[in-house]
Amino acid sequence: MISSERIPNNVDLSSNKRLQRALEHWQPKYLDWWRDMGPEGFQDHHQVFLRTAISVDPDGWANFEFVKLPDYRWGIFLTEFVADRTIGFGDSFGKPVWQEVPGEFRNQLRRLIVTQGDTEPASVEQQRQLGAKCPSLYDLRNLFQVNVEEGRHLWAMVYLLHSYFGRDGRDEAEELLARTSGNRDKPRILEAFNEPIDNWLDFFMFTMFTDRDGKSQLMSLSESSLDPLARTTRFMLTEEAHHMFVGETGISRILERTCQLMKESRGLAEDVRRQGGIELEMIQRHLNFWFSRSLDLHGSEVSSNAASYFANGLKGRAREETYEDHRITDAVYELEVYEDGRLSRQEVPMRNAMNEVLRDWYCGDCLAGVERWNKILEQYGFSDRLHLPDRKFGRGIGIFSGFYFDPKGNPVSAKEWERCKNDWLPAQADKDYLKSIMVEPVYKPGVFANYIAPPRRGINRMPIDYEYVRTEA
């Protein structure tokens, strides 16, 4: 039976019998999915030092305990209700927000919620084999924290589907457990969530760049006129911040170790490799891949879907309150386009360019992170730098897909692309090398794989050599 003890929540679950029954029906299927598709090899005999949200207060997060992964208490939380909240953008700007789904926007809202929901279990599936290759117990615990929170984000979207979309919503909730990342017949909806995450470099890049798309999309959904969606996504953002911390500091620590190995040698890639490290060029190739995949997640540059989401007040801009014009009926966006083999600029109605507006915000947020990484190279006295590739590079969605650009954004021929692509994007040789240095997991407290530096501090004031994941006797 679902109770506030089993499912921490602030939606008064026990007094809503219909919802309670629907979730009771869904929960065993979720747990079956978690056992089948969640972290492999860590379901039954391990206790993990995890934090569980038990309320939306700032100290609601301070709950750390050892739990078995399938026993994690996946909760349902919305940020506090704000009385008299009004619609912040679009054609109905200034009118009261909705507590129920308006019939005319039902399909669009369902589609947004399903797309968001689909990414959450997808990422757990993508990461399920990383435990057997972990660089330390500290990192293993962080991986599982990210995984259980993605599971909670799925609960958040399923809560909305069950509460506001009736039979259709319940069917969609089942489908969220039926699609699988990378499955040929029933893949996940968005492309990046079907890419394999085979190694910890991919994992850290994914949590840096793809989780950051999670941040930008959740920020825009948190402006929604559907108040329960806005409040749910607002709380999800607090967890997203931790995932990006894992990604950013994971790469920082790899970079730091690479710098140490470069110092010890002559700074050459082959020397870093000879000592079991990850050379800068390989880090850059993985950055290129996950950044461009995550750019794709923002959709096409010109999108009538995006225009309609904005007009209808379903999905706004990140930090909508910082803009002056919230209706933007006449404004235009100057877009870079590629036509007849030439790059030029074209004006498009701003509403149709909403995906691009969000992508601008996203690129700025990514750039700040890359600059923080470059400080490490600077501190070690190296002139090498990591770079974000141009946003036209390596795209599979939108107006630049189907064309070839180098990482600086210059058009190149198919032949040139073939010649250089292994310098620009991860190649099989990279995968093989990374596999070889991660083949032995590090399960000894306080010990770290040779390719990564220890973190600055442990979790929740525990020491770095704390046994964050324990094997049961």
**Look-up: residue for tokens 């850290």?**
204
- Closer by beta carbon to ligand BYC, 223 or else 296: 296
Q: Angle formed by the axes of helices 106-126 and 304-311, to 10°?
A: 120
Binding-site member from 7, 201, 306, 377 for ligand BYC (CB under 6 A)? 306
What x-and-dash track marks residues 395-434 binding ligand BYC by CB under 6 A? --x-------------------------------------
Binding-site member from 108, 300, 346, 374 for ligand BYC (CB under 6 A)? 300
- Closer by beta carbon to ligand BYC, 112 or else 160: 112
CB of 310 to ligand BYC, least distance (A): 10
SS3 (DSSP) at 460: coil
CB of 192 to ligand BYC, least distance (A): 6
Rounded to whole angstroms, the Cα distance separating 212 from 244 reads: 7
Rounded to whole angstroms, the Cα distance separating 46 from 468 reads: 10
Cβ atoms < 10 Å from Cβ of 191: 13
Rounded to whole angstroms, the Cα distance separating 252 from 274 reads: 21
What x-and-dash track marks residues 123-142 binding ligand BYC by CB under 6 A? x-------------------
CB of 361 to ligand BYC, least distance (A): 13
> Under rule CB under 6 A, how many of the chain's residues touch ligand BYC?
25
Position closest to ligand BYC via CB: 299
- Closer by beta carbon to ligand BYC, 173 or else 297: 297
Q: Does 151 bind ligand BYC (CB under 6 A)?
A: no
Rounded to whole angstroms, the Cα distance separating 113 from 427 reads: 35
Q: Does 210 bind ligand BYC (CB under 6 A)?
A: yes
Range 32-37, long-range pairs (CB < 8 A, 24+ positions): 33/121, 33/177, 34/69, 34/70, 34/124, 34/151, 35/70, 37/121, 37/124, 37/125, 37/128, 37/180
Q: 72 near 5, Cβ under 8 Å?
A: no
CB of 60 to ligand BYC, least distance (A): 21
Rounded to whole angstroms, the Cα distance separating 97 from 224 reads: 8
Residue 237: is it exposed, middle or buried by C-beta count within 10 angstroms (0-12/13-18/19+)?
middle
Scanning residues 368 to 397, which ones bind ligand BYC (CB under 6 A)? 397
DSSP 8-state assignment for residue 333: E
What x-and-dash track marks residues 77-116 binding ligand BYC by CB under 6 A? -----------------------------------x--xx
CB of 169 to ligand BYC, least distance (A): 16
Q: 21 near 130, Cβ under 8 Å?
A: no
Q: Does 201 bind ligand BYC (CB under 6 A)?
A: no
CB of 213 to ligand BYC, least distance (A): 5
Rounded to whole angstroms, the Cα distance separating 406 from 312 reads: 38
Terminal-residue alpha carbon distance, the chain: 30
DSSP 8-state assignment for residue 316: -
Q: Does 303 bind ligand BYC (CB under 6 A)?
A: yes
Which residues here bind ligand BYC, judged by CB under 6 A?
A: 112, 115-116, 119-120, 123, 150, 190-191, 210-211, 213-214, 217, 296-300, 303, 305-306, 315, 355, 397
